[in-house]
Structure 1
């Protein structure tokens, strides 16, 4: 049995534009326009199973894309950055430069009292393993770091590679596989510039 998981990264938000750790901010107006344009163009993949990360931005993106009935998958929640939530990377780097350096270099580190990159990758990979048992196609609207974590895991890359994977808004990453062996097709935009 071959499983196909199609990950759609959420539309742009103010937090993403500002390089701010997500604080529950919604999709901004340009992100909504782009998602609706993709829905209107008919370029949104469909699947028998629909999942959505439990963030405002992902739920709004799924709605704008016309993906009704998506099941909230708490296992696909974004990386928990603890007390850094809502701050910009520049702000945190100015206050806690050693902690940021440790966090970026060591996947087991969680100086923000949240989740380490390793624990995050493990969590989302477990959810992917569950998807492998489902026949057919699954579509999930997720935060960019969820895509990063899954790409790292399916390629068996070291967790330090997490920071080397760029995931633009409203792009599609496809994972297909069976028996624990996945292939990756990354970076297809849903729609051109609006």
Structure 2
């Protein structure tokens, strides 16, 4: 089944996750940067290895766009993601499945709000199902994964900067 025809993709297009998935979690963080900059940093998948150290080997055919797929490795495992909603600077959603379609699937929904201080509040919600591949994943584990994304994004933007939207991380196998 093509990624854009899956039930998960249809949910992601409406900004929803699978409510009864084996793992469902959410997280929020404030980042001291303008919303457009924060959105662009997360939307540039070539920056993902700079956000989380377990991510590598990013391959994409261009910038974030609805229905655009890209491949990447998480903890060495290849996965394929497809953007479902690309609405700068307010929302970004995607679906993910394992590269060999063995049974891992996920939905990520990120929403970006401007705070009164001119900073950005990110709200993330995700659902994951890895039961078919025997990966134990629960709400607590997923909450930790979401927090690692949010903390890494905050660190990249606030401490190291993320001003160049077209700069990728060559040392992480970004193409």
State the TM-score, normalizing by the size of structure 2: 0.28
Q: Which of these two proteins has the greater Rg computed from alpha carbons?
A: 1
The structure with the largest helix share of the pair is: 1
The structure with the largest strand share of the pair is: 2
